[in-house]
């Protein structure tokens, strides 16, 4: 008597289906986030320290004239555009620096980039004169030079490590901040300019600010987004990255270059706005995970939401004056970061 053999059932591709559904959810979430950004940009144009009826806002956008309300609305457009650029730059740069250093507390100031950009801007203001065009071109070399010094100081014979880079960044930042303070206190005119710019503000930004900043931000975003897969491997460690066929040194250098350009452009455009590069990547990572292919695009969208939202709040709560956006981002972003930490979904 023969017994029939039953072929084993093929395993169901549950993990594949789960991966596909997660990808769909993340894609839908990114589209929704873009919609939130568009809504926030509309609020940035419609709401401000000067109350303008929505009908006048619409007429100023569709058919601008020489009226006072039209001039008010026109002044808010470049301000909102700069908020989009700065928010995307700081959030993406923060995510990249956290990935490079494998430090959950990493932000654009960790490697001395913000301090380097600030120092070169202050020196340019003191010895060349104020002017946004000079500020942009001065901030870039200062940020790059600071990043190079941090990398050289933090690299030993065995190469750079996250701990060495963090310590080197703290030391270099302390020296650069001391230079900024010394120059500012020695020159009262520089101090008057720096004390407003140093907190971080979008007020008074013009179409020239937008045009000079856009190119740098786009270049930095392209570099960082192109390195998203490589950053996933870097977070596993240099040995794992090498076994996957990557050159860790070149990957780190390119990613750091992209983050440096983003930080320098953001600092030049709006000053050293804090907390965006720290909070946004953590909040985004709580629902995207550590995959930079999703983390960086979400940061590029939600970073501007935080910056523009903070700017709108600062203009509304202090009418007829306004609070600088750098002073508001911490109050707005801190609750989201605390909530993510308490849920245990942030890698601290």
What does the DSSP assignment read for 184-208?
HHH-HHHHHHHHHHTT---TT--HH
What is the rounded average pLDDT of the residues 326-342?
Answer: 75
Q: pTM, whole model, 2 decimals?
A: 0.85
Query: What distance in Å separates the CA atoms of residue 176 and residue 256, rounded to the nearest whole number?
Result: 19
Q: Which class is domain 82-342?
A: mainly alpha
- Least trusted range by pLDDT, from 227-231, 311-315, 327-331, 335-339: 335-339
What Cα–Cα distance (Å) separates residue 195 from each residue in 182, 192, 324? 13, 6, 11
Query: What distance in Å separates the CA atoms of residue 224 and residue 89, rounded to the nearest whole number?
Result: 10
What is the rounded average pLDDT of the residues 115-137?
Answer: 76
- Are 101 and 165 in contact by the 8 Å Cβ rule? The answer is yes
Higher pLDDT, 335 or 130: 335
- Give the pLDDT confidence score for residue 3 in this predicted structure: 53
Residue appearing with tokens 């202050």: 122
Residue 192, pLDDT > 80, answer: no
What is the rounded average pLDDT of the residues 145-156?
Answer: 80
Backbone angles phi, psi at 231, to 5 degrees: -65, -35
Please write the tens of the pLDDT for every residue from 22-67: 888 999 999 999 999 999 999 999 888 888 888 878 888 888 878 8
What is the rounded average pLDDT of the residues 180-192?
Answer: 83
Strand partners, 159: 156
- Give the pLDDT confidence score for residue 220 in this predicted structure: 94
- Give the pLDDT confidence score for residue 307 in this predicted structure: 94
- Are 49 and 319 in contact by the 8 Å Cβ rule? The answer is yes
What is the rounded average pLDDT of the residues 74-80?
Answer: 91
The mean pLDDT of the chain is 82
Nearest to 118 by CA among 244, 268, 14, 227: 268
The structural domains of the chain, with segments of one domain joined by +, span: 82-342
């Amino acid at each position: 008597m023969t017994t029939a053999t039953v072929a084993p059932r093929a395993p169901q591709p549950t993990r594949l289906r789960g991966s596909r559904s997660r990808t769909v959810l993340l894609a839908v979430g990114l589209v929704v986030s873009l919609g939130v950004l568009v809504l926030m940009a509309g609020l940035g144009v419609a709401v401000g320290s000067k109350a303008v009826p929505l009908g006048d806002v619409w007429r100023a956008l569709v058919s601008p004239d020489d009226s006072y309300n039209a001039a008010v609305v026109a002044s808010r457009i470049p301000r909102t555009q700069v908020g989009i650029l700065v928010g995307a730059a700081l959030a993406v740069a923060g995510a990249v620096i956290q990935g490079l250093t494998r430090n959950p507390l990493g932000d654009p100031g960790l490697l001395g980039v913000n301090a380097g950009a600030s120092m070169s801007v202050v020196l340019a203001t003191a010895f060349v004169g104020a002017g946004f065009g000079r500020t942009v071109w001065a901030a870039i070399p200062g940020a790059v030079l600071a990043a190079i010094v941090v990398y050289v100081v933090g690299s030993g014979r065995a190469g750079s490590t996250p701990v060495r880079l963090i310590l080197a960044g703290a030391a270099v930042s302390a020296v650069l901040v001391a230079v900024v303070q010394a120059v500012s206190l020695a020159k009262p005119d520089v101090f008057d300019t720096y004390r407003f710019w140093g907190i971080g503000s979008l007020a008074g930004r013009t179409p020239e600010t937008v045009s000079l900043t856009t190119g740098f931000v786009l270049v930095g975003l392209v570099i960082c987004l192109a390195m998203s897969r490589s950053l996933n491997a870097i977070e596993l460690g240099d040995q794992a990255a090498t076994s996957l066929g990557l050159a860790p040194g070149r990957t780190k250098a390119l990613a750091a270059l992209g983050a440096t350009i983003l930080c320098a452009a953001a600092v030049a455009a709006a000053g050293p706005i804090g907390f965006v590069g720290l909070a946004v990547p953590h909040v985004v990572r709580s629902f995207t995970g550590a995959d930079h292919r999703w983390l960086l695009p979400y940061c590029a969208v939600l970073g501007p939401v935080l910056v523009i939202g903070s700017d709108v709040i600062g203009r509304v709560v202090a009418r007829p004056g306004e609070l600088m956006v750098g002073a508001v981002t911490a109050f707005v972003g801190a609750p989201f970061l605390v909530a993510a930490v308490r849920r245990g979904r942030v890698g601290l």
